[in-house]
Chain A
Amino acid sequence: MSEERVIRALLDAFPTAVTDYKKLKAGVIRARIERRELYRCCQFLRERLGFEHVSMISAVEYDDRFEIVYHITCYGSCLLLELITQTPKDDPSVDSVSSIWGGANWQERESYDLMGIKFNNHPKLERILLPSDYLYHPLRKDFKG
């Protein structure tokens, strides 16, 4: 399965939600998706296109938005998909994908702990690295240690 086939399949399934797609280098694709279609897109990736493993879930804070970047791997075709979704600054919440990929469970807890992103329908959204009574989210830009 080549990179172009993955992009074509994503565009066919989600024609309005997928934007800004391109092939970054051999084996790496980037695409942006809207927040409301994220869960269905991840289900589609796992069940139809065979992306079995979510490598990394990162959260980045910009001046006007939060971006949540999913790096998803396909073992069979040796591909890496960088899927970016964004949320407004006053409502940093997305749907949790931990029911699709179990490996996303702790990574989402870490993003909640350090950056304050809320994942809807997560089985146990608690602090994991910092003490459970800690009050702040340290990776935010307005936290000055």
Chain B
Amino acid sequence: MWINMGPQHPMTHGLWNLRIKVDGETIVDAEPEVGYLHRGIEKLCENRTYTQIIPLADRLCYASSLTWSHLYCLTVEDLMGLEVPERAEYIRVAAIEMQRIASHLMWLAAYAADLGTLVGFIYAMRDREVFIDLLQALSGSRLTYNFPRIGGVAHDVPPNFERDSLRACTYMEKKLDEYERLFEGSKVFMMRNEGVGILKKELAMNLGVTGPPLRASGVKYDLRKDQPYSVYPELDFQPISLPDGDCYARYKVRMDEMRESCKIIRQAVQKMPKGKWRIVAPRNGPVGTGIGRVEDPRGEGMMYIVGNGTPKPYRLKIRSPIFVTVSAAKQMLVGYKVADVVAIMGGLDMCIGETDR
């Protein structure tokens, strides 16, 4: 018997449909259905100039929107062959890591609320406000920032940015210890997560799973370390990887990634050199192609752009990490119970904006 979970479902966090075939309580088959939020962004980009696409790229994955507009600017800078000033790179890295912490806290809030610990939702949302306030002081907006520009960033950091960021990092590291005590001390949380939704290493690599689910299955591959971009080669941090492949490993990878992000923010704001924060980019894109690849909080984000000498791009192709990870849902769900769907699909941190584009 096929059951529809969605498109309107309190667990699914977004507009997608999960069809599962059950035999009693055990799942026998699963088929995700996406496309309810398809806005045709790739076609819209062919009708906008290079700078006008930056706010559209923000709205791809709205929970981590700085990553996508940064990825788009990296791709266009690869196409045009531009060299971004160093101060701009450091500002970008500090902002992206703050966005990464805010995105992981949003995931934690939704995950905790689904698994029954509503106190996790309230605490995580409260701590996310600290980083959203920092990003609002930097760029002027709470959610879709429109902050990176082709050739740098929109404007310089506000006064006292370094002091406020260091304070936020110290606060966050204390709070992460508190979260670990809260969640790992809860027997129900551990029972719902340990041993559930196991994805083996070879299967994860073959099915195209990237990001924290891949690192939780034993593959230590982080684009920031292995194919670095921006100023990541000069910063000191470690990619996190665990061998088990279950929901608890995916949760632990994200919590430890938040710690590493605090370390990166500290280094970035303290090492920031003086100088220009933006160079002027040419209006017409050259004829040619460009690639950009970043480590999104959800996986490997990639863009491929084709320019044809006009102010508008000829073709922009966007690779969404969740689009491919969700296609591996069947292997992760078969054999478990219906009540485990929440933990398994919640652990993937789905954001439908980037899936459907």
Are A and B direct contacts in the complex by CB distance below 8 Å? Answer: yes
Query: Which A residues lie within 8 Å of B357 (CB)?
Result: 129
Contact-residue size bin, chain B (C-beta under 8 Å from the other chain):
20 to 34
Contact between A53 and B42, CB atoms less than 8 A apart: no
Is A145's CB under 8 angstroms from B327's CB? no
Contact with A along B218-250 (1 / 0, CB 8 A): 010100001100000000000000000000000
Contact present for A128 and B35 (CB under 8 Å): yes
Residue-wise interface mask of A (59-91) relative to B, using a CB-CB cutoff of 8 A (1 in contact, 0 not) = 111000000010100010010101000000000
Known: A53-B208, A105-B327, A130-B35. A58 touches B304 (CB 8 A): yes
Contact between B38 and A129, CB atoms less than 8 A apart: yes
Q: State the main secondary structure of chain A at its contact with B.
A: mixed
A111 CA / B248 CA spacing, docked (Å): 35
Give the contacting residue for A106; candidates B205, B206, B219, B327; CB below 8 A: B327
Cβ–Cβ < 8 Å partners of B271 in chain A: none
Q: Does B315 contact A (CB under 8 A)?
A: yes
Give every chain A residue within 8 A of B210 (Cβ-Cβ).
53
Tell whether B58 is near chain A: CB-to-CB under 8 Å. Answer: no
The contact sample of 17 A-B pairs, CB cut-off 8 A, is A28-B291, A53-B208, A53-B210, A55-B319, A58-B315, A58-B317, A69-B304, A75-B221, A80-B291, A101-B208, A102-B208, A102-B327, A102-B328, A103-B209, A107-B208, A128-B34, A129-B34
The reply on A56 being an interface residue by CB < 8 A is: yes
Q: Let me know if A38 is at the binding interface, CB within 8 A.
A: no
Most chain-B Cβ atoms within 10 A of its Cβ — which of A56, A60, A69, A105? A56
Instruction: Tell me the bound Cα distance from A144 to B4 in angstroms.
Output: 35
Residues of B within 8 A of A128 (CB): 34-35
Choose among B43, B219, B300, B306 the residue that contacts A55 (Cβ–Cβ < 8 A): B300
- A82's partner among B40, B226, B291 (CB-CB below 8 A) is B291
* A117 / chain B contacts, CB cutoff of 8 Å: none
Q: What is the bound-complex CA distance between A56 and B209, given in angstroms?
A: 12
CA A114 to CA B300, docked complex, whole Å: 22
Does A52 lie within 8 Å of B205, measured CB to CB? yes
A54 within 8 A of B: yes
Residues of B within 8 A of A101 (CB): 206, 208
B44 to chain A, nearest CB (A): 9
Which residues of chain A from 14 to 70 have a CB within 8 Å of any chain B CB? 27-28, 52-56, 58-61, 69
Q: Interface residues, chain A, CB within 8 Å of chain B?
A: 27-28, 52-56, 58-61, 69, 71, 75, 78, 80, 82, 101-107, 110, 114, 127-131, 138-139, 143, 145
Contact A78 B319, beta carbon cutoff 8 Å: no
Cβ–Cβ < 8 Å partners of B317 in chain A: 56, 58-60, 69
Is B295 in the interface zone, CB < 8 Å from A? no
Q: Please, what's the 1-or-0 string for B199-222, where 1 marks a CB less than 8 Å from any CB in chain A? A: 000010111111000000001010
| Interface mask (B294-309 → A, CB under 8 Å = 1, otherwise 0) | 0000001010101000
Nearest Cβ in chain A — how far from B175, in angstroms?
Answer: 33
Residues on the A chain within 8 Å of B319, using CB: 55-56, 71
The answer to whether A55 touches B315, judged by C-beta atoms less than 8 angstroms apart, is no
CB within 8 Å for A129 and B356 given contacts A103-B327, A138-B43: yes
Inter-subunit contact A130/B324 (CB<8 Å): no
Q: How far is the CB of A97 from chain B (nearest CB, A)?
A: 12
Complex Cα distance, B302 from A107, in Å, reads 13
CB interface residues, B 147-206, toward A, < 8 Å: 203, 205-206
Distance in Å from the Cβ of B219 to the closest Cβ of chain A? 6
In the complex the two chains form, what is the Cα distance from A107 to B357 in whole Å? 13
